[in-house]
Amino acid sequence: MSVLVSTTYGQVEGTVEDGIAVFRGIPYAQAPVGPLRFRPPVAPEGWTGVRPALAYGAAAPQPRPDGAVGDIFSPGHPTGEDCLSVNVWTPDPGASGLPVLVWIHGGAFLFGSSADDLIERGAFARSGVVTVTINYRLGVDGYLFVEDDPDGGDYGTLDQIAALRWVRANISAFGGDPDRVTVAGESAGGTAVCALLAAPAAQGLFARAIAQSAYPDPLLSQESGRIIARELKERLAALAPDLDSVGEVRELHPEYVLQAVKELFEDVANRDAARYGPEIAAQMNPLMPVVGGAVLPERPLEVARDGRLADVDLLIGTNRDEFRIVFALGMMSVADELVDALFEATFPGRGAEALKVYAQDRPDASKVDLLAALETDRSYRVGSTRLADAHAAQRPGSTFCYRFTWPSTAFGGAIGAAHSVELPFVFDALGTPMAEALTGPDAPQRLADDIHRAWVAFIGTGDPNHAGLPEWPAYDGDTRPVLELSPDHRVVANPGGDELALWSDTAASGA
């Protein structure tokens, strides 16, 4: 059964699937090609008649990650240049005032898409939430720093803002309330949410924010952007010596750019601070939002500490074992004998003490497990905690923090409560192929019920509490109450506080 909706650019035709109206591949901007490459997104041209919105739009051009990561997270549909589109799931396009979720996918700002079998379930729409997922430019196209361009390094962020503007202008036609928009994401998507909290052009486009497993501290400086731009130019010169610029190679040999970017990501993982500087070496991500231009004049934490973040409710948290997936899946390997040196490099003069602190609550942990805990904090928990502290000080009573602690049985149980394992629970999509790849079989449905209901409650009201949870208190920076999400939910004051205290005078990601 088909269903029609009128947008500001023309009518679109979707389908009704199990009682949910679904619209796929609606453009929110023109294809960023030719003169529109490395430029802010441009509004789409309108159309006459009815435009079919039956198939997903292309995912942004991207390399395929190696191994299990690529198997789990690479798009299951084509990539392409004309990638700036949204998908909408709505329980009733004839309704009005429904809460809205805008989901920004993760993938290190390098891979991923607006559609996977978790999203395809449509669980939020079945729970009364109009759901929008977006594609945005990735890698070089989205985050290459371009000298003398005030938007350089942030085209992907501008895409996300353009998608939010499309939602603001059109979501009422799908039954949603433009004043009840929650922007949410995980990993790079959660980091994008943190950037949007500080982006002047995004203010007023959403009322609530959810940042899952974000790495907001720091985003890249312009100097780091310059380092990566030079590095890419040198790598591409070796592949295409007859061309003078990254832009020329991108137009004529896009496969060279994807190859160079993939190799660059692999090289940055070696943390060569002499080559890339301490910021990139610590963050291990060479292409992500750049701070200092028109889009992001300041770092989110700087804005937060001055009390100037977006005036929105915030749900933020991390997974207990974020980084274990990196070692368990072979994305990075470290010999046991090097772990002591890595702790010492992180905490100069205090490395042995810090290692003991991390070991005291993990009596059976291997050296690599302890390093994974350190990297979990460096990459995710410290920055997220600092942002929560600042947001709670700016807007008391509207910050809620979680820590996901259920250990996955996938990969022989080696990954624990790893990065991304919470996603099938948030989307109430246990049993799908992507979910089972992350959780293993027989993951607890009651936990999915509880987590999904909490997200729905927050999206609707700004408060994630519901009858299936213990009372979840609003967060404050003094007592730091955090709800541990597991089959036995419990509120813990400042979990891992002795470990967090080690970072009090240390920059989480080296800036």
Distance CA 301, CA 197 (A): 10
Closest CA to 426 of 439, 440, 441: 439
Using DSSP bridges, classify how beta strands 490-493 and 481-485 pair: parallel, antiparallel or unpaired: antiparallel
Distance CA 499, CA 502 (A): 5
Distance CA 387, CA 215 (A): 10
Distance CA 109, CA 372 (A): 22
Distance CA 79, CA 434 (A): 19
The domains located in the chain, with CATH, are 2-219 (3.40.50.1820), 221-283 (no CATH), 312-502 (3.40.50.1820)
Residues near 449 by beta carbon (within 8 Å), at least 6 away in sequence: 428, 468
CB 406 within 8 A of CB 417: yes
Q: What are the structure tokens assigned to 484, written together?
A: 């541990």
SS3 (DSSP) at 498: helix
Per-residue pLDDT of the chain (511 residues; tens, 9 = 90+): 899 999 999 999 999 999 999 999 999 999 999 999 999 999 999 999 999 999 999 999 999 888 888 888 888 888 999 999 999 999 999 999 999 999 999 999 999 999 999 999 999 999 999 999 999 999 999 999 998 898 888 999 999 999 999 999 999 999 999 999 999 999 999 999 999 999 999 999 999 999 999 999 878 999 999 999 999 999 998 888 887 788 889 988 999 999 999 999 989 988 888 899 888 988 889 999 999 999 999 999 999 989 899 899 999 999 999 999 988 887 777 888 889 999 999 999 999 999 999 999 898 999 999 999 999 999 999 999 999 999 999 999 999 999 999 999 999 999 999 999 999 999 999 999 999 999 999 999 999 999 999 999 999 999 999 999 999 999 999 999 999 999 999 999 999 999 999 998 765 543 2
The counts of H helices and E strands in the chain are: 19, 15
Task: Give the gyration radius of the chain's Cα atoms.
Answer: 22
Give the bridge partners for 319, in sequence order. Answer: 404
Distance CA 47, CA 167 (A): 18
The number of beta carbons lying within 10 Å of the beta carbon of residue 46 is: 10
Closest CA to 176 of 185, 164, 186, 184: 164
Q: What are the structure tokens assigned to 419, written together?
A: 């990065």
Give the bridge partners for 316, in sequence order. Answer: 211, 401
Element housing 131 (H / E): strand 130-134
Query: How does DSSP assign 199-265, residue by residue?
Result: -GGGTTS-SEEEEES---S--EEHHHHHHHHHHHHHHHHHH-TT--SHHHHHHH-HHHHHHHHHHHH
Which residue, chain included where needed, has tokens 């293993």?
A: 440
Closest CA to 193 of 300, 324, 35: 300
Give the bridge partners for 490, in sequence order. Answer: 484
Q: What is the dihedral of CA 414, 420, 426, 430, to 10 degrees?
A: -50
CB 138 within 8 A of CB 61: yes
Q: What are the structure tokens assigned to 458, written together?
A: 């927050």
DSSP state of 427: T
Q: What angle do CA 409, 356, 481 make, to 5 degrees?
A: 65
Helices (H), 117-187: 123-126, 139-143, 155-170
Residues annotated as catalytic are: 187, 322, 419
Q: What is the pTM of this model?
A: 0.96
